[in-house]
Amino acid sequence: MLNRLKFISIGLLGLNLLLSGMFMLGDAPRAAQSDVQPNVGRIELLEEAMRDPDSLEFVSKKEAPPAPAAPAPTANAHDSAPPAAHPPAVAPAANVHAAAPPVHAAPPAHAPATEAKHAPAKPAPAKPSAPVVAQEQFPVDVPESVCFRVGPLRSQQDTDGLIKDLAEVKLNAVIASKDKGEFLGYWIYLPPERSMALARLKLEELKTKGFTDVFLVLTDEPQRAISLGVYRNKLAAQKRQEEFRSRGYEAELTMRYKRPPEIWLKIESDSQTAPDKDDWKLLLKNYKDVKYEKSGC
């Protein structure tokens, strides 16, 4: 900045000397004076600018070409001396690295001690668990359900007996249907004889002892039995039974039906444990006219 002021001051001094000479000679034409007169105002502005360096800097930036920056002079004997030769320029470090191939900086091997000191402790890594091996799934063979229908049973006594026999071989039976039939009355009779001839002899014996209303069963069950009468009232039937027993005859009492009752059982099993033909034959041997058949479950 001071060098620029110095150069400007020298220029102004030279310009003042030139103008003073022209006025002293008096040879300059008016046109020249008119040309120079505007410069007087410019000189006065520059002189004012000398007193105000800030304004001078503005003027110099606007009208004078930019000059290279020079180190500020110090108030000593070196001001008048020519500037010393500058040392040889050294290429900045950035240029040296720019010429070399780029090297990527490796991450630090260890964190600073201060960071390691204050860093929270990391939990120990969990041990990897043993891999779970998927087991091959095999289809389960489910036994097919098998159901049976068993009957007809003619009395509740036979029904209860058969349910008990089936339970002993792990077969669960329930009553599927029950028809009470058409009731006639309480029947008194003598058990069947071993042959028809013996049955006829028993019948003639009863008649000779004064028993009436007795007859031989020929077609209905039980055959070769001797009927002693049918009573609608159970007490009357029991009285008649005691009368024959008191005379030495083992009379029996049962209920008689015009249309016999029918009780059917339902049994659910599976294809692996279901009874076969021989099993059913053994199970039903004590139940007359009772059969089995497959049915829907």
- pLDDT tens sequence across 107-116: 444 444 444 4
Q: Mutual orientation of helices 30-51 and 53-63 as an angle, nearest 10°?
A: 130
Residue 147 burial (10 A CB sphere; 0-12, 13-18, 19+): middle
- pLDDT tens sequence across 171-223: 999 999 988 888 889 999 999 999 999 999 999 999 998 888 899 998 777 88
One-letter identity of residue 57: E
Task: Delimit the CATH 3.30.70.100 region(s) of the chain.
Answer: 144-181+260-297
| DSSP labels, 110-140 | S--HHHHHHSPPPPPPPPPPPPPPPPPP---
Q: Are 152 and 292 in contact (CB under 8 A)?
A: no
Question: In the prediction, which pLDDT does 143 show?
Answer: 80
Asked: is 144-181+260-297 a CATH 3.30.420.40 domain? The reply is no
Cα–Cα distance, 251 to 246 (Å, whole number): 10
Domain 186-253: assigned CATH number: 3.30.70
pTM of this prediction? Answer: 0.40
The helix (H) or strand (E) run that includes residue 151 is strand 145-153
Cα–Cα distance, 276 to 269 (Å, whole number): 12
Output the CA torsion 279→280→284→285 (10° steps): -50
| Cβ neighbours of residue 206 closer than 8 Å, sequence gap 6 or more | 214, 226, 249
* Residue 262 pLDDT greater than 90, yes or no: yes
Percent of the chain with pLDDT over 70: 56
